[in-house]
Amino acid sequence: MAQMTMIEAIREAHDVAMAADEKVVVYGEDVGYFGGVFRCTAGLQEKYGKSRCFDAPINEAGIVGTAIGMAAYGLKPVIEIQFADYVYPAYDQIVSEAARLRHRSNADFTCPIVIRMPTGGGIFGGQTHSQSPEALFTHVSGLKVVMPSNPRDAKGLLLASIADPDPVIFLEPKRLYNGPFDGHHDKPIVSWKKHALGDVPDGDEAVPLGKASLYREGKDVTVLAYGTMVYVAEAAVEQSGVDAEIIDLRTLMPLDLDAIVSSVEKTGRCVIVHEATRTSGFGAELMSLVQETCFYHLEAPMIRVTGWDTPYPHAQEWEYFPGPGRVGEALKKVMEA
């Protein structure tokens, strides 16, 4: 075990995978010599050479498109989109090609690629450095969608994603790169180096895809969250005094529905929290599933706490970001019903 930030854990996962399998190649914008704008690939080019880790032209469709070709050849590309906000030029390649390749060719060709992208707000990133586009990927059959919330999961989930035989969208909440963040932007942040979840196992211990983790046990209400919102929910529990059970979904597709159902059946209440905009966001799918599977156990209408249906603003960061205040209000409200 070693104490690591999420950045270091992600870099470590690359390192472990590249050492174990020479088919793993890593590339993206500024990923090679410089080691990435967030340092997630630092040192990999020096260690594995330029043919295993290299800089790419600024062309997201090209990065994903070439990776699909490499995967068809037999390599395992782990590629980076510098910000999730910039994945859209590659959307055709992801949706029409990577996601469909196995199905349309009856497994004649497959696409074991991992597309990493820093995501989420809370960093004064404004419109194009803060978005959470997970719903654009969970809606696409053939993709897996993963979002870790701590260094231990980041390493284990990335290793599992690289080992996975199908394309994985790996969303990294950049607000959590250096330490957990509970939405209290006026307080100093704590580094992962002083946090239990910053204690990362050595070697290639994977965290299985499709399995949620029970972040906090509680009996009053189930909170479904992922990424930064896990810590926001925890802070909201402390402020509101509501004994909520917090489930960190970790993988959005395929979803661990069993974990959700058993929790909601126990608590009878459910609050869904995400940073992404509300309408047609992933929360709508979660709400539908809980309604379909837990209707007779529900004692109150479910509540979604999400980003507003606006582009992500700059000056109004903390009025937009669903912080512990808004989540706490939802917890109280769902208990009153």
What number of other Cβ atoms are within 10 A of residue 291's Cβ?
Answer: 13
Q: Which of 37, 72, 190, 261 binds another protein (CB under 8 A)?
A: 72
Query: Among residue numbers 194 through 253, which ones bind another protein (CB under 8 A)?
Result: 210, 253
Q: Which of 8, 80, 97, 248 binds another protein (CB under 8 A)?
A: 97
Determine the 3-state secondary structure of 332 from DSSP.
helix
By CB under 8 A, the count of residues binding another protein is: 45
105 binding another protein? (CB under 8 A): yes
Does 279 participate in binding another protein (rule CB under 8 A)? no
Q: Supply the Cα-derived Rg of the chain in whole angstroms.
A: 19
Is 288 near another protein (CB under 8 A)?
no
User: From residue 254 to residue 273, what is the string marking binding to another protein with x (rule CB under 8 A)?
Assistant: xx-x----------------
Q: How crowded is residue 171: how many other Cβ atoms within 10 Å of its Cβ?
A: 25
Q: What are phi and psi of 137, to 5 degrees?
A: -105, -35
Q: Which is nearer to another protein, 26 or 237 (CB)?
A: 26
Binding-residue pattern over the window 21 to 40 for another protein, x denoting contact by CB under 8 A = ----x---------------
Pick between residue 191 and residue 291 the one whose CB is nearest to another protein.
Answer: 291
Which single residue is written with the structure tokens 């069993």?
258
Buried-exposed string 61-71: b where 16+ CB fall within 10 A, e elsewhere: eebbbbbbebb
For residue 104, state whether it binds another protein (rule: CB under 8 A): yes
Helices (H), the chain: 6-20, 44-48, 60-73, 91-92, 101-104, 134-138, 151-163, 229-240, 257-267, 282-294, 317-320, 324-336
Which of residues 42 and 261 has its CB atom nearest to another protein in the complex?
261
Task: Say how far apart CA 298 and CA 19 lie, in whole Å.
Answer: 49
Is residue 141 a contact residue for another protein (CB under 8 A)? yes
Binding residue for another protein, selected from 40, 68, 236, 335, defined by CB under 8 A: 68
Closest CB 280 distance from another protein, rounded Å? 18
Residue type, 218: G
The answer to whether 251 and 257 have CB atoms below 8 angstroms apart is: no
Confirm whether 139 is a catalytic residue.
no
Which residues participate in catalysis according to the annotation? 129
Binding site for another protein (CB under 8 A): 25, 51-52, 56-57, 59, 61-62, 65-70, 72-75, 77, 89, 92-93, 96-97, 100-110, 141-142, 144, 165-166, 210, 253-255, 257
